[in-house]
Chain A
Amino acid sequence: MRAGDDMHPMLQRIMQIHVAEEARHIGFAHQYLQHHAPKLKRRDRAALSVIVPVIMKWLCNEILVPSKQAQRDMGIPDAVMKDLYWDAPESEKFLRDLFGDVRMLAEETGLLNPVSRRLWRALGIDGRSSRFRSQPASAAA
């Protein structure tokens, strides 16, 4: 939808409603976390800082990567799967760009420290943070 591509009007309308509803949830969640993060105990914050990137990457894979079953049904070769998720340079960049908003949130809630930064990098989801929610990622991010 961001690219202004033509799509079926019904699909477009469903996506439009979905995006608007998600935006409200995300808006509430960000506010909630910003409000509550300062009250975290040091130990909890440290634990969260390493758990969050792992969970986020896992969720991302759950949502985006087709299952083994789907791969077999569609007849996608293993090498192509490997390239797409997430070995080719373009895929790596795509993955990093997906996480701009999450990185911003992690930064704002104090979940970025030397250890967790390395973890983000190891998971291939490091990079620059968005300056605001849904800021388009740039080539340099």
Chain B
Amino acid sequence: MAYVVTQSCCADASCVIACPVNCIHPAPGEPGFAEAEMLYVDATACVGCGACATACPVDAIKPDTVLTPDEQPFVAINADYFDCFPHPVRTPLSVVAKQRRLTRRGPFRVAVVGAGPAGLYTADELLKHPEVSVDVYDRLPTPYGLVRAGVAPDHHHTKRVEKLFRAIEEQPGFRYFLGVEIGRDLTLADLEAQYDAVVYSVGASADRSLGIEGEQLPGSLSATDLVGWYNGHPDKVDLDVPLDGTSGRAVVVGNGNVALDVARILALDPAALEHTDIAALPWAALCRSNVREVVVLGRRGPADAAFTLPELVGLAGLAESGAIDVVVDTGGAPPPTGTRKLEVLAELAARPARPARPAAAPGVRRIVLRFHTTPVRIAGDDRVRAVEVVRDGTTEVIEADLVLRAIGYHGRPVADLPYDAATGTVPHVDGRVRPGLYVAGWVKRGPTGFIGTNKSCAEGTVAAILDDLDAGLPTPVGSLASIASVVAGRCPAYVDLAGWRAIDAEERRRGERRSRPRAKIVDVDEMARVARAGTTPTPRRGYPSLRRLVRGFDGRT
């Protein structure tokens, strides 16, 4: 029996360290890790001990005996990798750096701006040192960044990483200041005065534009905004998404994983999403949706498709089960072969076509993966009516009421920080902007990689912070208590860890009644209200103190 890495792999790479025979590759630091779509288990070396499965934060690693039919292709995908990259020279175990200790005594305080995966992984790395305490700030009253507002609702496996984030939050020395915007409520100068080090992990919140005529018309949206909308991001609640158009078609420009996500959400039967954590109003809108066909445009051919193999396999599984009809349109050219990804695409293309008109197959909607097609103009009067595209020199018009651009995220300039407009990142060396100021995550390396990629990214940044702490940084003013009072003064409605737990519990409670994992609260004021109402003082430990045991009461209560 061997273990297999499946679709939800997020490249966190804890499994690499857990493995007693070093059979999971590419490991962080090995060539190919940064570009890898997922990690792979070498079935010939695996001893089936299951240590990797306990380490995986998203439960992506499964024994090959319990795979569902949809997951079967991953056996071959794992094997393929080692056919190409056998990693013949391996250490018996993945090498772990010696436990690092700070040479100066501390205590040290670090502020992390942004409570997304990168921020939390950074906090986790810092809290490995008992001398360090970490305060995590976020603009919203809810943490977890794109895990909450970006991961598609039907990818519930990926959301299991929340369990890891919970464990990170529970550590001593961790505090939340949520609902506090750095640059508005507090400035970088405020933070630098009070902390030994400040880490920005604010992500890349904007998207790249197409730069074609008609892009600003109503109905032409950024896919990232749509993702925020159906995931209940408070800023995107009021997004105007025209799903009731007469053409019954939506066009997605770009064919990365975000493009596949939005295409899938638009094309899935809303009943399939009912028991996910999709936001309530967008779900109701999707139920009334007229969209029968989603066309996903790729500028180049199938060989250059930007989506990853695991996502394509997931889509192929949906096509196989009949939930979505998937059509591959290469413009008459036979689909190329050669890689596993192209083979899956070719299999999709070769599937017996469904009845030509959408009306003939009621209920089942269609995704068209169209290649070699470049949009040149979005046509319409007061809103989007059609997209003009060029393929092989001929111009075509695709009628559509909704055009989504999904050609990549792009970082916005961050207040008080330098900015590189070309990459949308903050210029840095090993995560260090200057001693005392650091970056991690997408704002550091650009919008690439998966949730777990942030772990190795954070390790790099934290190594730089520890080096500087050892070398000596200016001593900050104030104390942990004074920082809390400063934040409370500037931003009285801030949400702390107990507040977030209250919001989380309330969302789960509301969700339970409709058999959903959670019903998201999408209004910032309501979140703050729930957090305030639900904050009750909890004992420091989960068991009574000796004094309480002996005398029957606790001095603090």
The interface of chain A, by Cβ under 8 A from chain B, is 1-4, 12, 15-16, 19-24, 26-27, 30-31, 97, 113-114, 117-118, 131-140
Contacts and interface: CB of A to CB of B under 8 A. Distances in A.
A23 B20 contact: yes
A20 B19 CA distance: 9
Given A24-B49, A132-B14, A114 B549 contact: yes
Given A23-B49, A27-B50, A132-B51, A139 B93 contact: no
Interface string B23-55: 000000000000000000000000111110011
A131 B93 CA distance: 19
The 10 closest A-B pairs by CB, nearest first: A138-B128, A132-B55, A23-B20, A4-B95, A27-B49, A23-B49, A114-B543, A16-B92, A140-B130, A27-B50
Given A1-B93, A131-B167, A132-B51, A113 B543 contact: yes
B91 interface: yes
A102 to B, nearest CB: 14
B536 interface: no
A133 B128 contact: no
Contacts of B98: 3
25 contacts: A2-B96, A3-B98, A4-B91, A4-B95, A16-B93, A20-B21, A23-B20, A23-B47, A23-B51, A24-B47, A27-B49, A31-B50, A113-B543, A114-B544, A117-B543, A131-B14, A131-B164, A132-B14, A133-B51, A134-B51, A136-B99, A137-B99, A139-B102, A139-B129, A140-B173
Residue of B48, B49, B96 with most partner-chain A CB within 10 A: B49
B92 A135 contact: no
Contacts of B92: 1, 12, 15-16, 19
Contacts of B47: 20-21, 23-24
Contacts of A132: 14, 18, 51, 54-55
B99 A133 contact: no
A65 B101 CA distance: 26
Given A4-B91, A20-B20, A117-B543, A136 B51 contact: no
Contacts of A133: 18, 51, 54-55
Interface in B88-126: 91-93, 95-96, 98-102
Contacts of B544: 114
Given A136-B17, A139-B102, 17 more contacts: A1-B91, A1-B92, A2-B96, A3-B98, A16-B21, A16-B92, A16-B93, A19-B92, A23-B49, A27-B48, A31-B50, A97-B99, A131-B55, A132-B54, A133-B55, A138-B99, A139-B129
Interface string B162-202: 00100100011100000000000000000000000000000
Main SS class of interface, B = loop
B127 interface: yes
Interface string B125-137: 0011110000000
A20 B128 CA distance: 28
A2 B54 contact: no
B331 to A, nearest CB: 48
Contacts of B171: 140
Given A15-B92, A131-B164, A132-B14, A139 B51 contact: no
Contacts of B93: 1-2, 16, 19
B48 A136 contact: no
Given A24-B48, A27-B51, A133-B55, A140 B129 contact: yes
Interface of B: 14, 17-18, 20-21, 47-51, 54-55, 91-93, 95-96, 98-102, 127-130, 164, 167, 171-173, 543-544, 546, 549
B127 A135 contact: no
Contacts of A135: 14, 17-18, 55
Contact of B95 (A3, A117, A137): A3
B344 to A, nearest CB: 31
Contacts of B99: 97, 136-139
Contacts of B50: 27, 30-31
A134 B17 contact: yes
A140 B130 CA distance: 5
A116 to B, nearest CB: 10
Contact of A19 (B20, B55, B101): B20
Contacts of B18: 132-135
Contacts of B48: 24, 27
A139 B17 contact: no
Nearest to A133: B51
B200 to A, nearest CB: 24
A3 B92 CA distance: 11
B127 A140 contact: yes
Contact of A139 (B21, B128, B549): B128
Contacts of B129: 138-140
Contacts of B101: 139
B403 to A, nearest CB: 44
A26 B48 CA distance: 11
A117 B50 CA distance: 28
A103 to B, nearest CB: 14
Nearest to A118: B546
A139 B127 CA distance: 9
A139 B130 contact: yes
Residue of B50, B98, B172, B546 with most partner-chain A CB within 10 A: B50
B322 to A, nearest CB: 36
B108 to A, nearest CB: 13
A18 to B, nearest CB: 10
A128 to B, nearest CB: 8
Nearest to B45: A20
A48 B37 CA distance: 45
A91 to B, nearest CB: 14
Residue of A15, A20, A24, A97 with most partner-chain B CB within 10 A: A20
B14 A26 contact: no
Contacts of A15: 92
Residue of B96, B102, B171 with most partner-chain A CB within 10 A: B96
Contacts of B49: 20, 23-24, 26-27
B20 to A, nearest CB: 4
Contacts of A16: 21, 92-93
Nearest to A31: B50
A136 B55 CA distance: 12
Contacts of B164: 131
Nearest to A25: B49
